[in-house]
Amino acid sequence: MPGNKVAKDVKEEIEKKIKELKEILDKGTKEELEEKTAALSESLQKIGQAMYGKDVKTESSNVKSEEKPEDKKEDKKNNVEEGEVVN
């Protein structure tokens, strides 16, 4: 079921803001639409922050344990820019 990983209060907040935006879509002013859209966007960012926060913890622990100085040297060799002379 979509949305089951989002906190209930965040989900309800977003659904409320979507409803408010739909209500003023036809009769609202440009300023009202921009205000409601910005409010919805801020609420949607909470989902992204929660998802990103979980992924960062998992990925950062894996990267630190696997990263070696040799890997950094090879990355420099593989990051050749167009027109660069490589020896």
Q: Is residue 6 part of a domain?
A: yes
The confidence score (pLDDT) of residue 30 equals: 92
- Three-state secondary structure string covering 20-68: HHHHHCCCCCHHHHHHHHHHHHHHHHHHHHHHHHHHHHHHHHHHHHHCC
Q: Which domain holds residue 44?
A: 1-61
The confidence score (pLDDT) of residue 56 equals: 47
Q: Is residue 66 part of a domain?
A: no
Query: Mean pLDDT across the stretch 6-34?
Result: 90
Q: Is residue 74 part of a domain?
A: no
Query: Mean pLDDT across the stretch 16-21?
Result: 92
Q: Is residue 67 part of a domain?
A: no
Q: How many domains does the chain have?
A: 1
Its pTM stands at 0.52
* Better-predicted residue by pLDDT, 6 or 3: 6
> pLDDT digit string (tens) for 25-60?
888 899 999 999 999 999 999 888 877 776 544 454
Q: Is residue 5 part of a domain?
A: yes
Q: Is residue 71 part of a domain?
A: no
Q: Is residue 78 part of a domain?
A: no
